[in-house]
Amino acid sequence: MRKSAVITGSTSGIGKAVAESLAASGVNIMLNGFGDAEEIEAQRADLEQKYGVTARYNGADMTNGSEIRALIDATKSELGSVDIVVNNAGIQHVSPIDEFPTDKWDAIIAINLTSAFHTTAAALPHMRAAGWGRVVNIASAHGLVASPFKSAYVAAKHGILGLTKTTALETAQDGITCNAICPGYVRTPLVEAQIPDTAKARGITEDEVVKDVILAAQPTKSFVGLDELGALTVFLCSDAAKSITGASLPIDGGWTAN
């Protein structure tokens, strides 16, 4: 029987790449996220056609705990099991702490951190019953180090690493692993969107943000590839990674080696 994965925030960026990689490995996919309905349907159908898996879509709002838990129930109902959860949904806002809008703080904590609590809490009973499960949290290098003007994002990603470790300890004897992937900068819509905000906050040009702020943090001087993140997720979901749990794995071009 094929395993099934739910990937939050999988209609674009990292989540979309992870969905593609897991589908290519033979895993059924529950997509989630916002976007144009026709584009999402095309993505869903493409996964089925290319890889012979079953792919479904659920538009659960990642700020709503009830909808998030219903997403897990829908995955079980429509795909037959909940074997893999990839907590990827995320948003960003760049602003000094004393000017940080309260509504932006609340939304970032809800989507980037609290949503992962809800998916994990709802999925673990299914995984325990099956005696096998994988939780992969897409954190960030900002779960390991901080940057100015990103207080909510940094706090949320640090929180994700704590949730990862606690989940790993609670499931250590259940055939379940929980790990966090900590990417450096990836050229996703989320990163593209924060370039002008960072330029405004720092009083520099957008080109200078890319050269002197974003890629300055990565000794390789290049963005992390979406295919790299997909491949690492597939590995963590394999039996070869069954003894890796509670880990925070940087894939950041050497950023956090400094």
Contact 176, 242 (CB under 8 A): no
Question: Nearest Cα to 135, choosing from 72, 191, 228?
Answer: 72
* Cα 143 from Cα 64, distance rounded (Å): 23
Catalytic residue among 51, 57, 153, 185: 153
Residue 25, CA atoms < 13 Å, CB-side half-sphere:
21
Is position 57 annotated as part of the catalytic site? Answer: no
* Cα 88 from Cα 186, distance rounded (Å): 13
Question: Nearest Cα to 120, choosing from 108, 137, 132, 107?
Answer: 137
Provide the b/e sequence for 201-224 (b: ≥16 CB within 10 Å): beeeeeeebbeebbbebbeeeebb
Q: Looking at the annotation, which residues are catalytic?
A: 153
